[in-house]
Structure 1
């Protein structure tokens, strides 16, 4: 099987050989233009990828890399980059070890020493924000995969892009969805508690939601609690007790996996009968359902993607997921992070094809010119109206058509309940109001 884990094993075995230089192993040899990264072998297009393959974020990082690798393998199986005479695409992979500082040094090493023409990565918003200035410094097109913080693209960068969803657009859609719950179910939600990991993603999302409410829903909602915490918190009891004493109607948490598991466990321990509308993060990975058990039931969450979307997509989308399951994941469906990796990969490959060049400036210009419709190959998996990079929410080079889906955990499985453009709320399988713990 073409499993990406083989690459990771080789990378781990070679790690000690490059430790003296501060780098991690990568696929391929170290060749190319050390100053611009623009030189590629005549038969190979080299794209750098920085991703957390070890450390606390490794489970998600490995799946996201698998999604990128799937996009590249499918391109190569179709004959490579046609405009470059069928040149094959090679990923040059560096492990960030879930460390932002390493993400920066590895991005620079790939650009200056590995002859890459473009860069992709690197899952977390903190790592992407720190790496983007390196891409800008060297003039290398950088396709962010996943990292959703608005601040990354609020610096007027020329070479940094994001095809997937972002905090700002999600904040707008989340508050609108709360209003929709009130309108459809007479939910009487007014007081909101936000609990966020104090990271670029968590803090940025809390600001986005608070600002959207203040600017457009001040007469309907109030943020009565906006509590940040340091990652890998040992105990949520104090925060949960604050929620219980704050007359809260809805909880919006932003947590990575370990914290998400502990948060829902604490809510269960204290029998907190308040609906939860999470923002992706640790709530949308398979490990959350596997480890949270019944504590996850009835939780609502925004997500970039989920296999439940496939029922509304083409047979080609189903086949992409089946290929992923068979060759990259030991039979496990794609998740939001693998799908975002694939998305970033195919958008980058589309630009290189149109650029007909491995020159970074030409690739950057091609990405800027991207204007794809909902029926394009690049939108095969995602329920987007299209892919076009422009200005929104104070950002530049953000896909203006990116949109999240809404899921609910029912009987231990994610069920698609929105957006209304796909599943009208009144026709969805949503369980609402949420049953109290004594009724479950």
Structure 2
């Protein structure tokens, strides 16, 4: 049964038809039985401190808004209107902390987990989820290794690293050729973890197949790096006409600042799964240094009225522009709530089986509803291409997702 809950969640109106009639009031305990005054607990694991805290807080906020929306719309109807409760945990962006916090919230009764942003952290959380047979819905972590373990309880909403690397290379080739100036020489900077390395490898293979030359490639520690002047100077010396960057928010801003200082004479700075270049706050924080920057990444659908409504709701609640990662956390709660509704019980095994059969309309730019394959990957997830134009991030490619035409060459740093 397909359930169209999007409007209900963003507008806080009754859930869509097909959810079942009201049962006698009474919440549900974590074990699945009815318990007066109880709730259905969901563990929310994100980096609320450390280098990625800004994104982590956005994700936590997105999850909170989704829980509030479900509860305001009447809770889980098939469970007598049972309410959701978020058990928040700070992973600090550290795998070992994520692992211990995941075990803690499971011990406190969480029937499902969402998280975690960093792929290395999601790897340890997925092992906890598998060991405890509790479903784990990944809202943002791209490493393909996360779904290669044969685990039954891990699901991912956005695309994986390999897809983003391959499609990122294709989009660069298509956009640059359409402009009459095909990208020829590419330099790569990427964070050194499994996420950045996998994206880099996939991009490199596809870019070479499409006739591009990789003239330099360097990695960095996103948690400790403080300046990219040396790296961007090396990019300038390499003769690259495009700089490809895979990483997180803070390092993305630092790279933009270095590009403005060094002026490497590029046709484009081109993010692939970059955590900064497609964020609404990036143009202002980069103080104009990011004008023209591209990013091939998963992204909330800016053309969707429902996504726009959620963005307005987020700004009213938190006084800030919503980031895609917050939308993904919102989506993860929706997936779990939808699964609970169809399972008819707050029991992890039944919930896991219901999530595996999900078909849920998405707030993301996708090829269709959220639907998981045998590995746990959302098969309709895709990256799209964004660009900073006029101090605003807009969707520019593929054509059916575009709000504006891409500007190429973009000549960053000049």
Shift of 1:381: 4.7
Q: Which has the higher helix share?
A: 1
**Aligned match of 1:46:** 41
State whether structure 2 residue 85 is matched by structure 1 residue 90: yes
- Asked if the contact 1:38–1:115 (Cα under 8 Å) also holds between the matched residues in 2, the reply is no
Question: Any idea what SS the aligned residue of 1:243 has?
Answer: helix
- Asked if the contact 1:39–1:115 (Cα under 8 Å) also holds between the matched residues in 2, the reply is no
**Aligned match of 1:10:** none
For structure 1, the residue ranges without an aligned partner over 5 or more in a row are 1-30
Shift of 1:304: 2.4
- Asked if the contact 1:38–1:116 (Cα under 8 Å) also holds between the matched residues in 2, the reply is no
1:29-51 deviation digits (Å, cap 9, x = unpaired)? xx977xxx767845421111111
- Asked if the contact 2:137–2:156 (Cα under 8 Å) also holds between the matched residues in 1, the reply is yes
- Asked if the contact 1:146–1:165 (Cα under 8 Å) also holds between the matched residues in 2, the reply is no
**Separation (CA, whole Å) in 2 of partners of 1:99 and 1:381:** 27
State whether structure 2 residue 186 is matched by structure 1 residue 192: yes
**Separation (CA, whole Å) in 2 of partners of 1:172 and 1:404:** 10
- Asked if the contact 1:224–1:246 (Cα under 8 Å) also holds between the matched residues in 2, the reply is yes
1:293-342 deviation digits (Å, cap 9, x = unpaired)? 11110111123225xx43x223x333222222222x12x23211111111
The equivalences for 1:155-166 within 5 A come to 155-166=149-160
**Aligned match of 1:277:** 270
State whether structure 2 residue 371 is matched by structure 1 residue 388: yes
- Asked if the contact 2:394–2:404 (Cα under 8 Å) also holds between the matched residues in 1, the reply is no
- Asked if the contact 1:121–1:144 (Cα under 8 Å) also holds between the matched residues in 2, the reply is yes
The equivalences for 1:229-248 within 5 A come to 229-231=220-222, 232-248=224-240
**Aligned match of 2:202:** 208
- Asked if the contact 2:327–2:363 (Cα under 8 Å) also holds between the matched residues in 1, the reply is no
**Aligned match of 1:414:** 393
Flag the 1:168–1:436 CA change in 2: closer, same or farther, 3 A: closer
Give me the TM-score of the superposition, normalised by structure 1: 0.82
**Aligned match of 2:167:** 173
**Aligned match of 2:340:** 352
- Asked if the contact 1:191–1:222 (Cα under 8 Å) also holds between the matched residues in 2, the reply is yes
Shift of 1:277: 0.8
State whether structure 2 residue 258 is matched by structure 1 residue 266: yes
**Separation (CA, whole Å) in 2 of partners of 1:85 and 1:269:** 60
The equivalences for 1:124-135 within 5 A come to 124-135=118-129
1:373-403 deviation digits (Å, cap 9, x = unpaired)? xxx3xx1454441211115xxxx11101111
**Separation (CA, whole Å) in 2 of partners of 1:61 and 1:365:** 28
Shift of 1:255: 2.6
State whether structure 2 residue 356 is matched by structure 1 residue 368: yes
- Asked if the contact 1:52–1:95 (Cα under 8 Å) also holds between the matched residues in 2, the reply is yes
**Separation (CA, whole Å) in 1 of partners of 2:93 and 2:363:** 30
- Asked if the contact 2:147–2:377 (Cα under 8 Å) also holds between the matched residues in 1, the reply is yes
**Separation (CA, whole Å) in 2 of partners of 1:401 and 1:278:** 22
- Asked if the contact 1:39–1:117 (Cα under 8 Å) also holds between the matched residues in 2, the reply is no
The equivalences for 1:111-126 within 5 A come to 111-112=106-107, 114-126=108-120
Question: Any idea what SS the aligned residue of 2:88 has?
Answer: strand
**Aligned match of 2:9:** none
Question: Any idea what SS the aligned residue of 1:207 has?
Answer: helix
Flag the 1:150–1:384 CA change in 2: closer, same or farther, 3 A: same
**Aligned match of 1:8:** none
Match for residue 298 of structure 1 among 292, 303, 310:
292
**Separation (CA, whole Å) in 2 of partners of 1:99 and 1:286:** 26
**Separation (CA, whole Å) in 1 of partners of 2:316 and 2:287:** 26
**Separation (CA, whole Å) in 1 of partners of 2:368 and 2:218:** 35
Give me the TM-score of the superposition, normalised by structure 2: 0.86
**Aligned match of 2:246:** 254
Shift of 1:110: 1.1
**Separation (CA, whole Å) in 2 of partners of 1:355 and 1:335:** 31
**Aligned match of 1:321:** 311
1:342-379 deviation digits (Å, cap 9, x = unpaired)? 1111112111111111111111111111134xxx3xx1
- Asked if the contact 1:415–1:429 (Cα under 8 Å) also holds between the matched residues in 2, the reply is no
- Asked if the contact 2:45–2:90 (Cα under 8 Å) also holds between the matched residues in 1, the reply is yes
Number of corresponding residues? 383
For structure 2, the residue ranges without an aligned partner over 5 or more in a row are 1-27
**Aligned match of 1:399:** 378
**Separation (CA, whole Å) in 1 of partners of 2:189 and 2:33:** 46
- Asked if the contact 1:141–1:159 (Cα under 8 Å) also holds between the matched residues in 2, the reply is yes
Flag the 1:420–1:162 CA change in 2: closer, same or farther, 3 A: same
